Amino acid sequence: MGWPSVSAAVVPAADRFEWFREAVSSEVMPLSLSTDHTADFHADITGLELGPVRMTAFAYSPMVARRSAAHVRQGDPEDYQLTLVSGGSFRLSHMGRDELIAGDLVLADTSRPMATECVRADGPVRALVLQVPRSAVPLRPERVDRLLARRIPARRGSGAILSGFLNTLVGQAPHCAEDELAGFGPVLLDLVGACLAHQLGALAEAPAEARARLTLERVLAFVEHNLGDPDLTPRLIAERHHLSLRALYALFEDRPESVAATVRRRRLERSRADLARRDPGGRSVRAVAARWGFSSHAAFSRAFRERYGLTPSEHRAVAVAEAGVGAEGTAEGGRAVGADGQAVASGQGTSVATGAV
């Protein structure tokens, strides 16, 4: 488990492309690679095992990848490979189709030959690749074949929910315990299955758990984008998603907090972040509360103190003081010097660290 990351930078420049080729062929699947950047090739690979699902983040110089029938016979994980292209573009040739992908998702079958031209003019190509066992996808293979080498939009609908979850997982995985990460494999299987079913217009064929997972992610995304609306109540959320209140509450039964508690927590977290900014844009505490959907200043202050142990004004004062010391404090003659120019004894109160980050 973990979140291991390797870079071609540890390999002599002349050997980096060959190192990448061998790493991909052995860790992902056999294929052939070519590039016009052999002399200055660079690549970073970050991988994560999530039970039955494997996720790998790639950043590499432009190249061409080919997987022939001979490569398939040499080694086949029998996976669907779902790729989110976040930087540059992919031109995928697969199943007699050609599709140019940039910023979206695309699906391939590792048991079929394919060729991918990866291009970017101003930096590395970036892609997030999911390897999902074909047997774990709850749709008939002949139906999934219709989606191979077809662009799956990642900016709206179920594709946006899936890609948002993937990006969040990449960002937060280093901060998660191994047992937390292990639980995301089934979540991803549900989201992938629901996304593919939705693209086929067959969401009803996806398992009930997958449909519920997709609906929950839609609800959470809706909440996140509407925290500033003081009328963001469970009833409104349910109506916007064509759910009964009972069905909405059922989505949150296995979560540590209710839908109302989720809204309240995220509003408080956003408010706390705003109050801690060095340049809050001149907003008063009351204005910050209103910005994040609190219609009652008194209720906001009470909820804030219950959660963080400080009033909003006290939190702002502490954050401003800490930011001031961090910005103005300097080291003189081996002593830590605070914003007021007075030396701070080692181990007392504030300390100032020096050196590159």
How crowded is the C-beta side of 110, counted as CA atoms within 13 Å? 23
For the chain, give every domain's residue range: 5-219, 226-330
Q: Would you state the structure tokens that stand for residue 113, as one six-digit string?
A: 């030959």
Provide the β-strand partners of residue 345. Answer: none
Q: Would you state the structure tokens that stand for residue 109, as one six-digit string?
A: 């079958």
Q: Regarding the domain delimited by 5-219, which CATH topology (the fold level of the hierarchy) does it fall under? A: Jelly Rolls (2.60.120)
pTM above 0.75, yes or no: no
Q: How far apart are the first and last CA of the chain?
A: 27
Q: Report pLDDT for 174.
A: 83
From residue 253, alpha-carbon distances to 1, 15, 29, 121 in Å are 28, 53, 40, 48
For 124-137, give the DSSP string.
-EEEEEEEEEGGGS
CATH of domain 226-330: 1.10.10.60
List per-block mean pLDDT (blocks of 10 residues) for the chain, which spans 357 residues. 72 92 88 93 88 89 95 94 94 94 95 94 90 88 92 92 90 80 84 88 72 84 90 93 91 90 94 81 85 92 94 90 60 38 35 30
**Contacts for 142 with CB less than 8 Å, ≥ 6 apart:** none
